[in-house]
Amino acid sequence: MTVSALTRPGERDRLIVKLAEIDWVFVLVMTLIAGAGGLMLFSIAGSSWMPWAAPHLIRYGLCLGLMLILALVDIRVWFALAYPLYGIGVLLLLAVDVVGQTRLGAQRWLGVGAFSFQPSEVMKIGIVLALARLYHGASAQRARLSWWLLIPAGMIAVPVLLVAKEPDLGTAMLIALTGAVMVVLAGLSWRIIAAGVIGVLAVAPPFFFFVMHDYQRDRIMTFLHPENDPSGSGYHILQSMIALGSGGLLGKGYGLGSQSQLNFLPEKQTDFIFATLAEEFGFVGCVSLLILYGAAIFMALRASYLSHSHFGRLAAAGVTATFALYVMINGAMVMGLAPVVGVPMPMLSYGGTVMLTVMVGFGLVQSVRVHRYAEVTSGKGTFV
């Protein structure tokens, strides 16, 4: 659509109708979560907008605008871009292995001038779109139980192995779990699911001893026994649990969290910002935030349910699964229920890359909602 076309009454009316179909309550919920992140970042910086709070809120404003633009993109455009985006993601991950930038012992970034990004973030959207398109044209029998299932398994395995090699175990786990959720939602037989669980349990010990890096094994051992090295590898988890416990029911008060304000809590602006929230606002604050996350997940799943196309349902469900996994993994990590794997709390933690990925994904979810009556076929179709 050109800019001049927007001046024509018919096109203007169509644009207004699409804007009205966006779930504005969902937008409000996401804004509240991002706003809570801004408040916490302001607090832990010593009541200062810099270096975290102001950039966080500015990024959210830009990402929100992008989400609303993507919500207006016809779902059939997303369908057409599914395989190309997946292919580009795989090529970028291969490029990381050859010319990627190394930081803190991990080769995860590609640089373009002064700008750098993680191709694994592209793959979080690419795997969702590619699997949704693959299953859109698949029969129920194929999706349930057949040798055809090796195709989606391979599509998931390729990026997972490339990301794990960087190494980035947290992101690799997110991609694998998102892919697994989509395959299950597409109608996978429970016999295959049971066999897969048994297979994972069988390969876990050799994977732990012969595939994982030393620091990754240390993270798991630290998770099991953080008290064995309280000033070393167990420091993160122990300080996080202290912050969680010291908050009590109502918290110590805004800006009064000793663990974060006195810098006992590591990565307080990213991975462990939820512990900061718990210390300052207590159990009530944590539950309030989790209710917002639950509301966002519910509304995104509702957009998936309302879609008339299999592609739309799976794409929206896949994006929602990724978001929910972010929340669950970070929450479990902060509470000492899972190893520290560097997964942030989405929209609350500081970091533009994850925020951009989440908002692009939710742009897709809103596009599914806005175009829920559109018929998606493998042909060109007529865009409405």
Over 90: is that where the pLDDT of 360 sits?
yes
First CA to last CA distance, the chain: 11
- Annotate 331-340 with b (16+ C-beta within 10 A) or e (fewer): bebbbbebbb
pLDDT tens-digit profile of 5-39?
Answer: 444 555 666 788 888 899 999 999 999 999 999 99
- Annotate 95-131 with b (16+ C-beta within 10 A) or e (fewer): ebeeebeeeeebbbbbeeeeeebbbbbbbbbbbbbbb
Alpha-carbon 230 to chain mean position: 30
Q: Provide the pLDDT for residue 312.
A: 93
Q: Do 257 and 356 contact (CB within 8 A), yes or no?
A: no
User: How many domains does the structure of the chain reveal?
Assistant: 2
243 falls in which pLDDT band (50, 70, 90)? confident
Nearest-CA neighbor of 41 among 54, 53, 59? Answer: 53
Q: Are residues 114 and 228 in the same domain?
A: no
Q: Are residues 157 and 180 in the same domain?
A: yes
Who contacts 107 (Cβ-Cβ below 8 Å, separation ≥6)? 96, 97, 100, 101, 166
pLDDT tens-digit profile of 297-333?
Answer: 999 999 999 999 999 999 999 999 999 999 999 999 8
Q: Provide the pLDDT for residue 11.
A: 61
Q: How far apart are CA 322 and CA 310, in angstroms?
A: 18
Q: Is residue 344 part of a domain?
A: yes
Q: Provide the pLDDT for residue 229.
A: 66
Side by side, which strands form the sheet with 101-103? 101-103, 106-112, 115-117
Q: Is residue 290 part of a domain?
A: yes
Q: Are residues 183 and 229 in the same domain?
A: no
Last residue of a domain, one of 212, 235, 261: 212
More confident residue, 269 or 368: 368
Q: Is residue 237 part of a domain?
A: yes
Q: Are residues 196 and 147 in the same domain?
A: yes
More confident residue, 149 or 265: 149
Over 60: is that where the pLDDT of 265 sits?
yes
Q: Is residue 18 part of a domain?
A: yes
pLDDT tens-digit profile of 144-182?
Answer: 877 888 999 999 999 999 998 887 888 899 999 999 999
What values do phi and psi take at 267, rounded to 5?
A: 50, 45
Q: Do 63 and 121 contact (CB within 8 A), yes or no?
A: no
Q: Are residues 275 and 184 in the same domain?
A: no
Least confident of 109-113, 200-204, 243-247: 109-113
Region 259-268: what's the mean pLDDT? 78
Q: Do 80 and 132 contact (CB within 8 A), yes or no?
A: no
Q: Are residues 30 and 145 in the same domain?
A: no
Q: Are residues 67 and 126 in the same domain?
A: no
Q: Are residues 38 and 122 in the same domain?
A: no
Q: Is residue 2 part of a domain?
A: no
Region 259-274: what's the mean pLDDT? 82
In terms of C-beta density within 10 A (0-12 exposed, 13-18 middle, 19 or more buried), how is residue 362 classed? buried
Last residue of a domain, one of 212, 245, 271: 212
Q: Are residues 110 and 38 in the same domain?
A: no
Q: How far apart are CA 67 and CA 319, in angstroms?
A: 13
Q: How far apart are CA 325 and CA 180, in angstroms?
A: 12
**Mean of pLDDT over the chain:** 85
Q: Provide the pLDDT for residue 1.
A: 41
Q: For the chain, give the percent of residues with pLDDT over 70.
A: 91
Q: Provide the pLDDT for residue 381.
A: 39
Region 193-206: what's the mean pLDDT? 84
Q: Are residues 172 and 281 in the same domain?
A: no
291 falls in which pLDDT band (50, 70, 90)? very high
6-15 CB contacts, 8 Å cutoff, 24+ apart? 15/72
Region 45-58: what's the mean pLDDT? 91
Q: How far apart are CA 360 and CA 81, in angstroms?
A: 14
Q: Is residue 367 part of a domain?
A: yes
Q: Provide the pLDDT for residue 203.
A: 82
Q: Provide the pLDDT for residue 90.
A: 93
- Strand pairing category for 101-103 and 115-117: unpaired
Q: Are residues 301 and 168 in the same domain?
A: no
Q: Is residue 265 part of a domain?
A: yes
Over 80: is that where the pLDDT of 292 sits?
yes
What values do phi and psi take at 339, rounded to 5?
A: -65, 155
Q: Provide the pLDDT for residue 104.
A: 64
Q: Provide the pLDDT for residue 208.
A: 74
Q: Is residue 363 part of a domain?
A: yes
Give strand pairing partners of 103: 106
pLDDT tens-digit profile of 99-125?
Answer: 777 776 677 878 776 677 788 888 999
Who contacts 302 (Cβ-Cβ below 8 Å, separation ≥6)? none
Q: Provide the pLDDT for residue 380.
A: 43
346 falls in which pLDDT band (50, 70, 90)? very high
More confident residue, 81 or 229: 81
Domain with 234, as residue range(s), is: 10-72+220-372
Region 285-296: what's the mean pLDDT? 96
Radius of gyration of the chain (CA): 22
Q: Are residues 30 and 103 in the same domain?
A: no
Last residue of a domain, one of 180, 212, 244: 212
What is the H or E stretch that residue 275 is in? helix 273-306
